[in-house]
Structure 1
Amino acid sequence: MQPCPCRSSLNYQDCCQPLHLGATADSAEALMRSRYSAFSLELVDYLIASHHPSKHSPNDRQGLQQSMQNTRWLNLQILDSEPDDRVEFIATYEENGKLGQLHERSNFVHENGHWYYLDGDLLPAPKISRNDSCPCGSGKKFKKCHFSTSS
């Protein structure tokens, strides 16, 4: 039993895996969580399939594969989820040995019984102080976990 990468507190097979195998998300937040897990697990086909078809480009697959080569996704924090179509989140990752955060307000659309990621507005990442909890989700203070790799 593997914990779900989206940090929902459920096991992967009870959370995001059914969506990755073809089940339909019942909300924008469920799709957001499954997309984060897909980034963590490098499920390029799922990421392309769950992105709205109007936003596809010929370079999607190559771009996703390149971004995944040096990125390890560490933690997902949902800040706000509007039932209709928006999810604000912070995703923490490590890229080329440096800690980073993606803070986004994502827009989703529900069409023909399926949720799709449409686009997102990037927001400033929160400032992390040495004595704050590390955003990677380890439970350690930032200075004892990732401070040395991100300064």
Structure 2
Amino acid sequence: MTEPCPCGRASTHPGAKAAKRQPLPFLDCCGRYVSERSATPAPDAESLMRSRYSAFVLGDLPYLLATWHASTRPADLTLEAAAKWLGLDVRSHCVLDADHAEVEFVARCREGGRAVRLHERSRFVRELGCWFYVDGDNLP
């Protein structure tokens, strides 16, 4: 998949202005985590959160469940088939300690012709070298 990654992460060339940054291809961004979960876990909570957003866009239920912490993971997960994901804005990534972090983000989608905005502060934990989504608080 050479198209831009759904998460919207852009290249970070030194000295490049924001307007000149190019979107990263899926395989160079979230694709390496989504398609190679066991071999290539996300290196930090923000990368995991971005890859989970990409998995929502792609409808990859196994990845979403595998990256959800066992203590809060639902038994099954159903995605809104008609949802069209429109973009992700990562507002902050706060490392609390070596194994805990929070990511604040806004994800936008359209469901049944209606615009939906999810603004959340998500909590992540790292166990045995892998980051997991635990839960989150919806923000206004």
Partner of 1:18: 32
- Residue 69 (structure 1) shift: 1.1
> More displaced, 14-23 or 112-121?
14-23
Query: Matches of residues 2-151 of structure 1 in structure 2 within 5 Å?
Result: 2-8=3-9, 9-21=23-35, 22=37, 23-58=40-75, 60-61=76-77, 64=78, 67-84=79-96, 85-124=101-140
Q: Could you say which structure has the higher helix fraction? A: 1
After TM superposition, the score normalised by the length of structure 2 is 0.82
- Residue 47 (structure 1) shift: 0.2
Runs of 4+ aligned structure 1 residues displaced above 6 Å come to none
Q: Could you say which structure has the higher strand fraction? A: 2
Q: Is the 8 A contact 1:106 1:119 kept in 2?
A: yes
SS at 1:10 equivalent: coil
- Percentage identity across paired residues of the two chains: 44
Q: Is the 8 A contact 1:42 1:68 kept in 2?
A: no
Q: Is the 8 A contact 1:89 1:103 kept in 2?
A: yes
Name the CA distance, whole Å, in 2 between partners of 1:31 and 1:96: 28
What stretches of structure 1 of length at least 5 have no aligned partner?
125-151
- Give aligned pairs, total: 119
Q: Is the 8 A contact 1:73 1:94 kept in 2?
A: yes
- Residue 75 (structure 1) shift: 0.3
What stretches of structure 2 of length at least 5 have no aligned partner?
10-22
Name the CA distance, whole Å, in 1 between partners of 2:74 and 2:108: 26
Partner of 1:143: none
Q: Supply the RMSD in Å over aligned alpha carbons.
A: 1.0
**1:109-144 Cα shifts (integer Å, max 9, x gaps):** 0111000000000001xxxxxxxxxxxxxxxxxxxx
- Residue 72 (structure 1) shift: 1.1
